[in-house]
Amino acid sequence: MSSNAIAHFKAGHAWRGDGWQADAVLGVDAGGRLQAALEPGGATLGRWVLPGMPNLHSHAFQRAMAGLAERKGRADDSFWSWRETMYAFAATIGPDELKAIAAQLYVEMLKAGYTSVCEFHYLHHQPDGTPYASPEAMSLALIEAAREAGIGLTLLPVLYMSGGFDGRALSARQRRFGHVVDAWLRLLETLRRQQGDEVCVGLALHSLRAVPESALREVLAAEPAATGPIHIHIAEQVGEVQDCVATRGARPVEWLFAHAAVDARWCLVHATHLTAAETAQLARSGAVAGLCPTTEANLGDGLFPLADYLDAGGALGIGSDSHISISPVEELRWLEYGQRLATRHRNIAARHEGDSVGETLWRAALHGGALASGRPVGELRNGARADLIVLDEDSPLLAAREARSVLDSFLFAGNTPLVRDVMVGGRWQVRDFRHRDEERIAARYRGVVSRLR
């Protein structure tokens, strides 16, 4: 294809955000961007074509420990006891292991319908805290894995400085996460040389407990708004909220808004425990609530105030976080089901009579995920990345479905995989349910986890 050539594709129905467009024609240029179609012909994609879903929160290495923390431990099993298991597992991971695990994870994401991922990356150094000869070695392993699998990547190198709100030093198991601000800023500068259509580099502050106030001020002064998205874990656990109140005199979200100009550049991951005032303030700011319902359920975090947040016009997206599930369907399904269990009512996300829960959630997660990614994704529009998924129109789950019920059926009709084909940046990565390189990537992954065991 020449540099200005456009490939044309036909779709029986293409999701345009506000609904399905019948008999759509999509143009894809040589750079992998969607463009206005110049002619009506072209290859047929399928009957149901959707924008691929951005995954806004991932810790790739945790994919290999999924299922290994489900035996009863001490009486007060919680996030904090799970974290000790995670620290022990993290100590076994180096660059080669991380690349193998991440590539397998990214293949699984693509097959599930995620076409881009935000990697919240804090596994920087060797297990004893000594930097690698190339300080960016672990970050480059993630970039290489994303390119190998063919998924879009927003890399978020994490600043992690202290072990608690009281400023305590990092524990032995946390030392490989740690940076001083200057070294971390140098890491960002190095990694930004990797940026392009496939890779965006933003930044992440691990949490308020891990980033002192002085460091927050220094980072925000050093990082102009043009340098990409900012992500932060916040208000995930009740204990975290209590510690923040005790040491900083305010709840985490309340404190952050008082000390930073939070706007649409920000993604507040989890934000589970909010007051009504914090919920409204987060919604007004334009920042994205980064929700990870399967991980939040697995860790016993709690439930996000979804109805109030949607009523306030808040932006949200979804992530698979610890990867005990890798499915946008399951994340969105359990986002809704958690609310139903808490309220004992149905169709919570649909705020107006006649609204579709599936359409409401898919639309919201596409929009918030694109904001959090800092990349032109999540829409089938001119200039956006040609990231799309094609549903299996022959599946019994979609039999006799009209356009108005397709997304509800996709999310709520069962667990049979419905993502047949996946395109990222104009290139097919999954065809007929199979990733183009899944056998080799899976074989390498099996070898790595066998050695880690």
Q: Model confidence over 364-406: pLDDT tens digits?
A: 999 999 999 999 999 999 999 999 999 999 999 999 999 999 9
Q: What is the pLDDT of residues 289-315, one digit of tens each?
A: 999 999 999 999 999 999 999 999 999
What's 44's domain CATH number? 2.30.40.10
Torsion-angle region of 14 (φ positive above 0: left; ψ -120 to 50: alpha; else: beta):
beta
Question: Residue 313 sits in a domain of what CATH number?
Answer: 3.20.20.140
Asked if residue 448 is part of any domain, the answer here is no
Work out the number of other CB atoms within 10 angstroms of the CB of residue 335. Answer: 26
Task: Say whether both 87 and 148 belong to one domain.
Answer: yes
Report the share of the chain in percent with pLDDT over 70: 98
pLDDT value of position 75: 62
Do 321 and 433 fall within a single domain?
no
- List the helix and strand counts (H, then E) for the chain: 14, 17
Range with the lowest mean pLDDT among 68-77, 209-218, 283-292?
68-77
Catalytic residue among 270, 273, 367, 435: 270
Averaged pLDDT for residues 61-81: 80
Whether the pLDDT of residue 227 is over 90: the answer is no
Are 200 and 228 a contacting pair, CB within 8 Å? yes
Average pLDDT value over all residues in the chain: 95
Residues 174 and 215 in one domain: yes
Look at residue 263 and tell me if it is in a domain.
Answer: yes
Q: Is 321 a catalytic residue?
A: yes
- pLDDT value of residue 269: 98
How confident is the model at residue 4, as a pLDDT?
Answer: 60
Query: What domain count does the chain have?
Result: 2
pLDDT bracket for residue 3 (50, 70, 90): very low
pLDDT band at 70 (very low <50, low <70, confident <90, very high): confident
Q: Which of 350, 373, 396 is the last residue of a domain?
A: 373
Could you give the percent of the chain with pLDDT greater than 90?
A: 89
Q: Catalytic: 270?
A: yes
Same domain, yes or no: 265 and 330: yes
Cβ neighbourhood burial of 259 (10 Å; 0-12, 13-18, 19+): middle
User: What residue numbers bound the domain in which 38 lies?
Assistant: 5-51+379-438
* Residue 2, pLDDT score: 44
- Alpha helix (H) ranges present in 158-229? 181-191, 213-222
Q: Residues 30-45: what's their mean pLDDT?
A: 87
Flag whether 431 is in a domain. yes
Domain-ending residue, one of 373, 405, 421: 373
Region 224-229: what's the mean pLDDT? Answer: 83
pLDDT tens-digit profile of 131-150? 999 999 999 999 999 999 99
Q: What does the pLDDT look like over 150-160, one tens digit per residue?
A: 999 999 999 99
Of the listed 29, 301, 321, 392, which one is catalytic? 321
Determine the pLDDT at residue 275. 98
71 pLDDT band (50/70/90 cuts)?
confident
84 pLDDT band (50/70/90 cuts)?
confident
Report the distance separating Cα 100 and Cα 172, nearest Å. 26
Distance (Å, rounded) from C-alpha 137 to C-alpha 142?
Answer: 9
Among 345, 373, 401, identify where a domain stops: 373
Whether residues 195 and 308 share a domain: the answer is yes
Give the mean pLDDT of 226-231: 90
